[in-house]
Amino acid sequence: LKHFETFSYIGVTSRLKRWKESQELIKEVNFKAFNRNFHLTLKAGTQVLAKKFTAHLVEEDDRLTQFSIDQNIFFSGHLTDNPNVTVNAHMEDTLWSILIYDVNNTFAIE
C-alpha cells in the first residue's frame, strides 16, 4: 500500500438506456481521490459474473442452499475520458468498492 486517504463523497448519476429489446443501467460516478478527479462510466451486470452464475450457502450440516445474486450491483466500465482505463465496481446500499486499472497504477477505492 503506497498511499491511503479517506473521502466522504461519491457523486452518482443513473441513466437507463432503452433499446428495442433490452434496457441497460448506466451509472456515472464522480469523486476526488489521490489528488485527481475520477469520472467513471459504469454498466451494471456486465463482465463481472457469468450469466449462469449460481451461489450456494453451505449450512452447518453440509446442506447446500442456493441463493440468487443481484447482478445489477456489480459494474464494469472505464474512465469517462479514457476508455483504455478499465474499472470494476460493486455497490452495496450506498457503499462502493471500486478498482481502477490504469496503465501504471491500480487504484482501490472503498
pLDDT tens string 70-86: 888 899 999 999 999 99
Read off the pLDDT band of 88 (50, 70, 90). very high
Is residue 2, in this structure, part of any structural domain at all? no
Q: DSSP state, 83? A: E
| DSSP β-bridge partners for residue 40 | 29, 79
Q: With respect to residue 3, please indicate whether it lies within any of the assigned structural domains.
A: no
pLDDT in tens, 14-58: 666 655 566 677 888 888 888 888 999 998 876 667 777 888 999
Asked if residue 5 is part of any domain, the answer here is no
As a whole-number percent, the residues of the chain with pLDDT over 70 amount to 78
Which three cell numbers mark 11?
A: 457523486
Angle made by CA atoms 5, 83, 32, in degrees to the nearest 5: 20
Q: Can you give the residue range of the structural domain that contains 93?
A: 11-109
Q: Which amino acid is at 10?
A: I
Please report whether residue 61 resides in a domain: yes
Q: Across the strands, what pairs with 42? A: 27, 77
| pLDDT for the residue numbered 14 | 67
Instruction: Tell me how many domains the chain contains.
Output: 1
pLDDT at 6: 65
Looking only at the bridges linking them, the beta strands covering 106-109 and 95-101 are antiparallel
